[in-house]
Amino acid sequence: MRVLSGIQPTGRFHWGNYFGAIRQYIALQEHDQAFYFIADLHALTTVRDANLLEEYTLEAAIDLLALGLNPDHATLFRQSDIPEVTELMWILLTATPMSLLEKCHAYKDKIAKGLPADAGLFSYPVLMAADILLYDSHIVPVGHDQVQHIEVTRDVAQKINLHYGDVLVLPEARVLDDAAKVPGVDGEKMSKSYGNVIEIFEAAKPMRKKIMSIKTDSQPVEAAKTPETCNVFQMYRLFSTSDEQIELAQRYRAGGMGYGEAKQLLYDAAWKYFEPARERREGLVKDKQTVRDILKTGAERARLKGQEVLDRVRSACGLGKKLV
């Protein structure tokens, strides 16, 4: 079984990205043949600064490796290193009804807000379909928000198969554990676009400052408090054992503990949790060449598979083998 997923390099990864996606990708690398890539072509629809995109892409690779992605188990590569993906995208576009893309939320939401949308954003789901279909992927772990795109992928693959015979493998979405939806410092879903994130590898001081700014109610220290509705407690749960959670919940209910103290406990737990990854990351930052080599080896491996599938599709639709 091939598991495949991509993550966009549109900023530094935050706690939501880790608990909602990255941690689960890493767990899957043990059992299946995993392909993970950094979706830099997709990121072009939002990051319009060359230096920044390059920086985010390399940082994404460094962070994934530091967090436990093992290049001996999983194939890690950069989307744009595989030119076959854009060629397959063109072929898929010729089998994609406009009406299918008009329904897709990223584009629809932008139009609804009266914002200008480009053809890149409009056809974004077809590039995603090419990402998936190019490697005969069976399972695609994604967040809820991406399930619609996997359905588009299946629809388009079915259209191609109908026209040209059974050429493409139909993938299935594996919806990531939604219990892991992480709130941001304002209590809304943590997301770069809301400016409420705590980055995984934030330096100690700004991380502490952000944690101290997490929104709580204004109960005084002595009041009994409700852990279930508290953002600080919800975040603490991510980093602690069930015994530690029970203990803190009891202290909330008993009263006598202020939110400042709970935030300090959260800070300590989060810092400790990512400590080994932070140490690995420091090593990788000093040795960027190793990271580039990992991406290169990954791309070579992925490309072999991609070329095989693209050849199959080209033959099926009458383009035949490439002459050069």
Contacts of 214 by beta carbon, 8 Å cutoff, 6+ apart: 185, 231, 232, 235, 263, 266
Phi, psi values for residue 240, rounded to 5°: -130, 165
Per CB under 6 A, 142 contacts ligand TRP: yes
Phi, psi values for residue 38, rounded to 5°: -100, 115
As given in the structure block, the two tokens for residue 315 are 């033959």
191 binds, among ligand ADP, ligand TRP, none (CB under 5 to 8 A by kind): ligand ADP
Instruction: Give least dist CB 46 to ligand ADP, A.
Output: 9
- With H, G, I as helix, E, B as strand and everything else as coil, classify residue 18: helix
- With H, G, I as helix, E, B as strand and everything else as coil, classify residue 274: coil
Name the strands in the sheet holding 74-78, side by side, starting at the edge strand that comes first in the sequence. Answer: 74-78, 33-38, 2-7, 139-142, 172-175
Distance CA 157, CA 10 (A): 28
Of 5-13, 97-105, 279-287, 302-310, the window that binds ligand TRP (rule: CB under 6 A) is 5-13
Beta bridge partners of 34: 3, 74
Residue whose CB is less far from ligand TRP, 56 or 259: 56
Per CB under 6 A, 12 contacts ligand ADP: no
* Site map (CB under 6 A) of ligand ADP, residues 183-202, x = contact: ------xxxxx---------
42 binds, among ligand ADP, ligand TRP, none (CB under 5 to 8 A by kind): ligand TRP
As given in the structure block, the two tokens for residue 246 are 């029970």
Near ligand TRP in 27-86, by CB under 6 A: 39, 42
Residues with catalytic roles: 110, 189, 192
Per CB under 6 A, 210 contacts ligand TRP: no
- Pick the binder of ligand ADP from 4, 7, 200, 266 (CB under 6 A): 7
- Report whether 193 contacts 201 (CB < 8 A): no
Number of residues that bind ligand TRP (CB under 6 A): 13
Contacts of 276 by beta carbon, 8 Å cutoff, 6+ apart: none
Q: Please provide the size of the chain in residues.
A: 324
62 binds, among ligand TRP, ligand ADP, none (CB under 5 to 8 A by kind): none
Residue whose CB is less far from ligand TRP, 129 or 185: 129
User: What is the separation of C-alpha 311 from the centre of its chain, rounded to a whole number of angstroms?
Assistant: 29
Per CB under 6 A, 140 contacts ligand TRP: yes
Near ligand TRP in 96-135, by CB under 6 A: 128, 131-132
Residues that bind ligand ADP (CB under 6 A): 7-8, 10, 16-17, 19-21, 142-143, 145, 180-182, 189-193
